[in-house]
Structure 1
Amino acid sequence: MSRLEEKTISSEPIFSGKIITLQVDEVELPNGRTSKREIVKHPGAVAILPLTNDNNIVMVEQFRKPLERTIVEIPAGKLEKGEEPRETAIRELEEETGYECDSLEWLISFYTSPGFADEIVHLYIAKGLKKKKDAATLDEDEFVNLLEISLDEAIQLIKEQKIYDAKTVYAVTYLQLQEAMKK
């Protein structure tokens, strides 16, 4: 055991839902004492940074119940059992936006809240967007407004806290850095 590692003594399932499970682990700390850790288990997710041919970002505006407000986000969704992240990205892009893409490139994967959750998000960039004949096929409990915004508009929405989630801020920052490197 490394000098920082916590050894799991026991794990108690608390809740099992459609998306997450919650467990409480008793752990042995590096100093030999014990403590409890509340852990959210999540199957993982993807997020897609879709860019139109004129470099606008396709985003969705939706109500987020935990925040009690609408926010603007890049399309995203959870991994289905046995589904590879790339497949999920293609599916979610089509379902949420009604777009297909010619090019889908993995950018990075990151943990959202490692202090209490194991959720990992795989971020992709989609280019060569083509609108499908069929409209977006949202989940039955999903309602979104589709937006196409410039990088400057996205930065303004961050300042106004209308873009307020880490995956979208990360994606916009990535684009900002790419633009800065071109200069």
Structure 2
Amino acid sequence: MSDDVTLKQSSTVYSNPYLEVEDRTYSHDGREYRYVVARQPEFSVVGAVTKEGKILMMRQFRPGPGHFTHELPAGMVDPGDTPEETARKELLEETGYTGRIEAVTTAYVMAYSTAKRHIFLAHDCEKIAEPEEDPGVIGEPFLMDPQDFAGLLRSGDMLDLDAALILAARLGIPVF
């Protein structure tokens, strides 16, 4: 099989500030393949641990699932910002905490999206401010013990599961 894949056609079928949906046609080895692709921005997600060993989490309402979920602090990478700057900024804005940021990895979110998730760990976090009010967010930060974190990962009520599993592995928290 050759690696020669050519984009033949692309048209936008939907667009808003956070999502653009494209209908794409590719050719490969004499055949055409049609896909629907979500064009989405890159974002950073931060697994954060306090100096006391607590894990910093967010509880937020998410319209896709239609209920509150648990997740790590995260946000879109703004034009001109680096993923690390975004991680640091989102951690502070969403939780009021700051810490030593460590880049871990970058991964695509899924096969039919252009979004990349930059995963960071924040060590020795300390609260230095109150979380910022965001009129578009229904949620709050909270602290969690490592053993409760493992249970949350098994519960299926966790967004950014890949980043959370990396945090658990780095902290030596057995999950499964």
What's the C-alpha RMSD, in Å, of the aligned pairs? 1.8
How does the TM-score come out when normalised to structure 2?
Answer: 0.90
List, as ranges, runs of 4+ consecutive aligned residues in structure 1 with deviation greater than 4 Å. none
The amino acid that maps onto 1:104 is: I
Q: How does 1:1-183 map to 2 (within 5 A)?
A: 3-30=2-29, 32-101=30-99, 103-113=100-110, 115-133=111-129, 135-163=130-158, 165=159, 167=160, 169-180=161-172
CA contact (8 A) 2:19 2:38 kept: yes
CA contact (8 A) 1:12 1:23 kept: yes
Alpha-carbon distance, 1:162 to partner: 2.4
The amino acid that maps onto 2:132 is: T
Residues 173, 179 of structure 1: alpha-carbon distance in 2 compared, 3 angstrom cutoff: same
Q: How many matched pairs?
A: 173
Q: What percentage of residue pairs aligned between the two structures are identical? A: 21
Q: Distance in 1 between matches of 2:34 and 2:140?
A: 41
Alpha-carbon distance, 1:179 to partner: 4.4
Deviation string 1:138-177 (CA, Å, 9 cap, x unpaired) is 43211212111122111111222222x2x2x223322433
How does the TM-score come out when normalised to structure 1?
Answer: 0.87
Deviation string 1:23-82 (CA, Å, 9 cap, x unpaired) is 11111133x111211111112000001100122110000111111111110101111112
Q: Distance in 2 between matches of 1:141 and 1:11?
A: 32
Write 1 or 2 for the structure with the bigger share of strand. 2
CA contact (8 A) 1:109 1:123 kept: yes
Q: Distance in 2 between matches of 1:161 and 1:91?
A: 27
Alpha-carbon distance, 1:5 to partner: 4.1
SS in 2 for 1:70: strand
Residues 7, 69 of structure 1: alpha-carbon distance in 2 compared, 3 angstrom cutoff: same
* Structure 2 unaligned regions, length at least 5: none
SS in 2 for 1:36: strand
